[in-house]
Amino acid sequence: MSYKEKRTIVSIVTMLSIVTAYYVYAFNKAQAGLAAPDDMKFWATTILTFIGIAIVASIVIQIIFHILLSIGIAAKSQLQNGKCDEKEVEREINQEMIEDEMDQLIELKAMRIGFAMAGIGFVAALVSVVLDYAPAVMLNILFLSFIVGSMIESVTQLYFYRRGIRNG
Amino acid sequence: MVKKFVIKNNIRTLRFFADEMTQQQLAEKAGASRQTILAVEAGKYAPSLELAFRIADAFGVTIGEVFDYEIKEIKK
């Protein structure tokens, strides 16, 4: 499995953990009667907090992932050659991290699918308002659609890396 | 009947005759990632004209010696 596939899987797991943590937190608050469906301030604050947590968690997890990747490459080099050449390891890491035309094409196609999902979610959120659902429902649909859109984007990337991609 | 344009390549053969050049070495010479070279070689990705020229250049051959095409007719 290549570096990019591993990175995509890490990203999916991070997003999944964040969305699970959010819904566990929100569900518990709602069960305890601390989150009224029309309390927009509570929901907006919670969503904003979790967006912040998601950004920080993504950065921290990516840093840990890169450290582990470097250790893995160094250990592999040590096992294969009996020595660990720092420059050789650095060269291999740089080579793994190159973003070329295929990566850009995959990213573009995956992003298009992710945006479509977010767009559908936006429309669904508007429909929920028209159907007289609580504002919290609208906010949660919006939040969920962006998270699911992002996860679908990552899954699509993984699919294209595995199956290959054609121009056009 | 639908005509399908399939791009083929001789990268594996060319690597063999280039002293068993690794995909990693070819990737470095062509300025692409190893994964892209792997995908091109497996026919999973049709490279841009620029990358195709760079791959040919890495072997010191013309683009026609690396890539070829075939038209397949598929029943609809």
- Would residue A120 count as lying in a domain? yes
Residue A83 confidence (pLDDT)? 75
Assembly ipTM: 0.81
**pLDDT (tens digit, 9 = 90+) per residue, A49-102?**
999 999 999 999 989 988 888 888 888 878 877 777 777 777 777 777 788 899
Asked whether the predicted pLDDT for residue A168 surpasses 60, the reply is no
Nearest CB to A163 within list B27, B33, B44: B44
- Would residue A105 count as lying in a domain? yes
- Would residue A111 count as lying in a domain? yes
- Would residue A57 count as lying in a domain? yes
Q: Would you place residue B73 in the very low, low, confident or very high pLDDT band (cuts 50, 70, 90)?
A: confident
pTM of the model: 0.81
Fold that domain B2-74 belongs to in CATH: 434 Repressor (Amino-terminal Domain) (1.10.260)
- Would residue A168 count as lying in a domain? no
**pLDDT (tens digit, 9 = 90+) per residue, A146-161?**
999 999 999 999 999 9
Mean pLDDT computed over every residue of chain A: 88
Nearest CB to B35 within list A4, A163, A167: A4
Residue contact B33–A167, C-beta within 8 A: no
Rounded Cα distance between B28 and A160, Å, is 22
Between the two ends of chain A, the Cα-to-Cα distance in Å is: 26
- Would residue A144 count as lying in a domain? yes
SS3 state at B2: strand
Rounded Cα distance between B30 and A90, Å, is 19
CB contacts < 8 A, A to B, total: 49
Among residues A52, A18, A47, which one has the least CA distance to residue A35? A47
Which residues in chain A are closer than 8 Å to B50, comparing Cβ atoms? Answer: 101
A6: its two tokens: 């591993």
- Would residue A142 count as lying in a domain? yes
Q: Domains in chain A: how many in total? A: 1
- Structural domain including A109 reads 3-163
Q: Which of A73, A89, A94, A100 to mutate to test the interface with B (most CBs of B within 10 A)?
A: A100
